[in-house]
Amino acid sequence: MAPVAPRSGDAIFANVERVNAELFTLTYGAIVRQLLTDLEEVEEVNKQLDQMGYNIGIRLIDEFLAKSNVSRCNDFRETTDVIAKVGFKMFLGVTASVTNWDADGTCCSIVLEDNPLVDFVELPDNCQGLYYCNILSGVIRGALDMVSMKTEVTWLRDVLRGDDVKLLKHVPEEYPYKDD
């Protein structure tokens, strides 16, 4: 059987059921607010959001692989490209770009020009340490974990903290492509 061609993020997004982004944004806001009330410490909230994202990531990868026809990536560059162009598009309807590669090709930044999670959000002074969208980095880490890639995902810049670029992610660490 001939291999199936991978589908573009746009094509997948056009074919899946969709919901209003504001429902999504406001629901996420409600989650963050609950966490801030329950956990009190901003650091703890960051951790919990990351954990929730990880839980999502390990489930989301199945749907991603099933719908995208993407086969195993040959290197980390290809992986990040797929995340930025297909992954973000397919689930959030937005496109991200990849920049800032280090010399070894093990670390790069993903730039989100448009992030539905941050609409209507303003961080109060006492939440300055909060990585509001930390759930997204958890999702990426969890999803990649399921395809045997250990990564670290951290936030470099965030529009909610007054940086101009919407936000910037960064994925270092070794990524063992084990040959089975």
| 55 forms part of the interface with other proteins (CB under 8 A) | yes
Question: What is the DSSP secondary structure assignment for residue 38, as one 8-state letter?
Answer: H
> Angle at Cα 25 formed by Cα 24 and Cα 29, nearest 5°?
115
Least Å from the CB of residue 18 to other proteins: 4
- Counting residues that bind other proteins (by CB under 8 A) gives 35
Least Å from the CB of residue 68 to other proteins: 12
| 86 forms part of the interface with other proteins (CB under 8 A) | no
Site for other proteins in 114-133 (CB under 8 A): 116, 119-120
Site for other proteins in 6-35 (CB under 8 A): 13, 16-24, 26-31, 33-35
- For residue 80, the tally of other CB atoms under 10 A from its CB is 27
Q: Which residues of 129-154 are buried (b: 16+ CB within 10 A; e: fewer)?
A: ebbbbbbbbbbbbbbbeeeebebebe
| Region from 58-66, 96-104, 145-153, 166-174 binding other proteins, contact rule CB under 8 A | 58-66
Written as one letter, the residue type at 58 is I
| 62 forms part of the interface with other proteins (CB under 8 A) | no
Instruction: For residues 122 and 127, give the distance between their C-alpha atoms in angstroms, rounded to a whole number.
Output: 10
Q: Report the residue from 43, 44, 59, 154 that binds other proteins according to the rule CB under 8 A.
A: 59
Paired tokens of 174: 């070794």
Q: What is the DSSP string of 64-87?
A: HHHHH-----SSHHHHHHHIIIII
Nearer to other proteins, 35 or 111 (CB): 35
Q: Give the residues lining the site for other proteins (CB under 8 A).
A: 13, 16-24, 26-31, 33-35, 38, 48, 52, 55-56, 59-60, 63, 90-93, 116, 119-120, 135
